[in-house]
């Protein structure tokens, strides 16, 4: 009976340590997921800005009255 009583605190400490380790692992996973989500949000914002810029450039190119300098440079002399 004494042996069982002495082992009780050790078992409880072991259980607490395992729970603490699991809690820390879950916190790390959550932080990693949040960082990944933020990186994806940043990429999405950047790509949307690039798309808007490309659409504006395309619209300007289609409505331009002057010939393209690039096309003029490639024209035969």
**Which of the four pLDDT bands, split at 50, 70 and 90, describes residue 8?**
confident
Q: What is the pLDDT of residues 22-38, one digit of tens each?
A: 999 999 999 999 999 99
Domain ranges of the chain: 25-51
User: Which of 10-14, 49-53, 56-60, 68-72 has the highest mean predicted lDDT (pLDDT)?
Assistant: 49-53
Q: Fill in the DSSP letter of residue 68.
A: P
* Triad 71, 59, 57: Cα angle to 5°: 70
Q: Furthest-apart CA pair in the chain: how many Å?
A: 105
């Amino acid at each position: 009976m004494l042996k069982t009583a002495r082992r009780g605190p050790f078992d409880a400490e072991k259980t607490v340590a395992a729970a603490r380790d699991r809690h820390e692992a879950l916190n790390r996973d959550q932080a990693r997921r949040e960082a990944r989500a933020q990186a994806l949000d940043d990429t999405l914002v950047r790509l949307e800005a690039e798309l808007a810029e490309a659409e504006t450039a395309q619209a300007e190119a289609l409505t331009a009255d002057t010939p393209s300098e690039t096309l003029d440079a490639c024209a035969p002399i």
